[in-house]
Amino acid sequence: MEKYLPILRNSSFFKGLTDEEILSILHCVEATTLSKERDSYIFRAADSTEVMGLVVSGCVLVTCPTACEHHQKLIRNLVSVLANKILILNDKITHIGKRTTREKLLSYLSAESIRHSSLSFDIPFDRQQLADYLCIDRAAMSTEISKLQKEGFIKTNRNHFELTVSNDADSTMKM
């Protein structure tokens, strides 16, 4: 297995592990090498297995014996759904990664404004849902929204928000 260490080191499975840790894991899971001839099967569709594999050289073609155009569309749709979910979660992490309630709120509202291509937009949450989404206390969030309104940075009515643009160079959002 040691001869595969340069390849394994670059694998996502072993990211951040030392050579010793990789070898220890391989020993623990009783890893073995398997060489197959070109055009031979590793597993068939009906086979059950309790092992996983990592291709260190060559390539593997995964096929479905009943593959048809509908399967391909389903797979494309699944990949699209997963990609969209990743983008949504990435946005959420960006917002909740901010330190203060104000920063989280401004990050979210700015992103929504960009998403709607408008300074005036509706959000899909009521106040409690927005607080939950941003992982902040509802009362603290409401206080911050009130401050932003008093400072003239936003206008809001329920789930409708309008970001205001000021020409006054002295009035900047304090984050």
Mean of pLDDT values over 79-98: 95
pTM score, whole prediction: 0.59
Report H helices in 35-151.
Answer: 69-96, 101-116, 127-134, 138-150
**163 and 113 Cβ atoms separated by less than 8 Å:** yes
Q: Could you give the CA distance from residue 101 to residue 133 in angstroms, rounded to a whole number?
A: 12
Q: Provide φ and ψ at 160, rounded to 5°.
A: -100, 130
Q: Domain residue spans in the chain?
A: 1-37+51-62, 97-163
Strands 120-122 and 154-157: unpaired
- Each residue's pLDDT tens digit, 7-24: 888 888 888 999 999 999
Average pLDDT over the chain reads: 88
- Give me the torsion for CA of 99, 102, 105, 106, rounded to 10°: -100
Secondary element (H or E) of residue 155: strand 154-157
pLDDT band for position 35 (50/70/90)? confident
Considering only residues 5 and 64, tell me which one the structure prediction assigns the higher pLDDT: 5
Mean of pLDDT values over 110-117: 96
As assigned by CATH, the class of the 97-163 domain is mainly alpha
Largest CA distance in the chain: 73
Token pair 């983008």 is at which residue?
87
Least confident span in 16-20, 41-45, 93-97, 102-106: 41-45
